[in-house]
Amino acid sequence: MKKKILIHSIVFSPDGVSTAYLYNDIAIGFKNAGFEVVVLTTTPHYNVIDSELEKQKLRKEAFGLYYKSQFEGIDVFHVPQKKFKSFALRAIGFIYWHFISFFIGIFLRNINIIISPSPPLTIGLISWFIAKIKGAKVIYNVQEIYPDLLINQGSLKSKFLLSLLKRLEQFVYNKSNAVVTIDQVFYNTIVNRFAKKDKLSIIPNFVDTTIYNPLKAKSINIDKNIFIDNGELKLMYAGNIGHAQDWKPLISIAKKMLGKPVSFWIIGEGVVKAELSNIVESQKLDNIHLLPYQSRESMAGVNAFADLHFIFMNPHLDGQGFPSKVYTIMACKKPLLVLSRENTPIINFLNDKNCGYLISSIDFEEKVDNVVEILNGLIIDRTDCFKKGENGLSVIELNYSKDIVVEKYISIVNQLLNE
């Protein structure tokens, strides 16, 4: 009888965000390795793509209490969620998701392993409860470190809530059968929060090189009426437009580059997009182009359109997150321009790979001037840019392809099943 894996994630296909794409591929990897896979998630609410909804239709069950769909032959249970503006409604929706997913989980049969990625931290608690009832084992995947991220973001002020979340974090870490994190910095940050440190391991995220690769990128037709290639040096950011990124340097850099053959392309959605759009319009920064999310299938072509991809990390949050887009950019043979402090996950990952321009200065004007100097040089000669792109592709092919990383998850699952 096949061993059964429950993937318990707040996002999954057809939601169009990076963690969903990651776990889509992990689910397929487990299925191809001979496991039975079932997914417990939400209805799409982060990045709703109509074409994906059309391909993966959601069927109402129990009068809309939850929905079901099929993804590559895998049963997916969706608990309704929406991105409410009201904090009260978001909180109610969050509680509803936990409550309903718990009851769906305990009625699923023959579960052997539960894998749950953060955020949220509370998903680890629900997974543990389901596992206790089902006699299953739990793998908790730390994609972001909570409550550290909330503290550094400044959104957690209550000492009571802070104490509660820290206790919850320790409970989830120590009650899970295995904990996987994505980076050495993350590992070093949380390892001392474990009673048994050997249950923590590192498995990096990965990129699907069948979608993201230079040949694929060149073959994809993108809308030439929007993505106009006039020979300018083109810089791109594609992803969530939120607080994890630092947008102030971009504005200063764009001002200094006005009138030069340089353009900045920002693709995505997020809580900061409206504010950023207002600044671009009010300051007449016509070298910045703001666009909505593009489909996953077109992103290789969109990545190829740019000469350089920029990631400017918020200095208050850059120690708690690692943008998975780094892998897809490298897989498309494109270099990176990164602003982040020393000893952060993204800087530590890229430091020895020579696939980007890394600026770790904490002085605002200094890092802006450093970027301007790099861009002025690349306007004249892009040879170094091409070379860094080639270096990045080589790193991905050797260490961070989907097959290599998924095999590491399969190895941990087999180890737990044999204990």
To the nearest whole percent, how much of the chain has pLDDT over 70?
97
CATH fold label, 4-206+401-417: Rossmann fold (3.40.50)
pTM of the model: 0.79
Sign of CA dihedral 179, 185, 188, 193: negative
How does pLDDT run across 190-244, given as a tens digit for each residue? 999 999 999 999 999 888 888 888 866 566 678 888 888 888 999 999 988 988 8
Topology agreement, domain 4-206+401-417 and domain 214-399: yes
Interior/surface letters 342-366, b for 16+ CB within 10 angstroms, e for the rest: eebbbbbbbeebbbbbbbbeeeeee
Residue type at 119?
A: P
Sort residue 30 into left (φ over 0), alpha (ψ -120 to 50) or beta. Answer: alpha
Residue range 214-399, CATH number = 3.40.50.2000
- Spatial neighbors of 143 by CB under 8 A, at least 6 apart, are 19, 117, 118, 119, 182, 205
Per-residue pLDDT 10s for the chain (419 aa) are: 789 999 999 999 999 888 898 999 999 999 999 999 999 999 998 877 788 888 999 999 998 899 999 999 999 999 999 877 777 888 888 899 999 999 999 999 999 999 999 988 999 999 999 999 999 999 999 998 887 777 776 666 778 888 888 999 999 999 999 999 988 888 999 999 999 999 999 999 888 888 888 866 566 678 888 888 888 999 999 988 988 899 999 999 999 999 999 999 999 988 899 999 999 999 999 999 999 888 777 888 888 899 999 999 999 888 777 888 899 899 999 999 999 999 898 999 999 999 999 999 999 999 999 999 999 999 999 999 999 999 999 999 888 888 888 999 999 999 999 98
- Take residue 417 and report the two structure tokens written for it: 């099943």
Task: For residues 79 and 88, give the distance between their C-alpha atoms in angstroms, rounded to a whole number.
Answer: 18
404 three-class SS: helix
Is cis: bond before 147, omega within 30 of 0? yes
Largest interatomic CA distance in the chain: 66
Structural domain boundaries in the chain: 4-206+401-417, 214-399
- DSSP symbol at 129: H
39 three-class SS: strand
- Take residue 240 and report the two structure tokens written for it: 């969530």
Cα distances from 152 to residues 130, 271, 286, in angstroms, run 31, 17, 33
Is cis: bond before 261, omega within 30 of 0? no
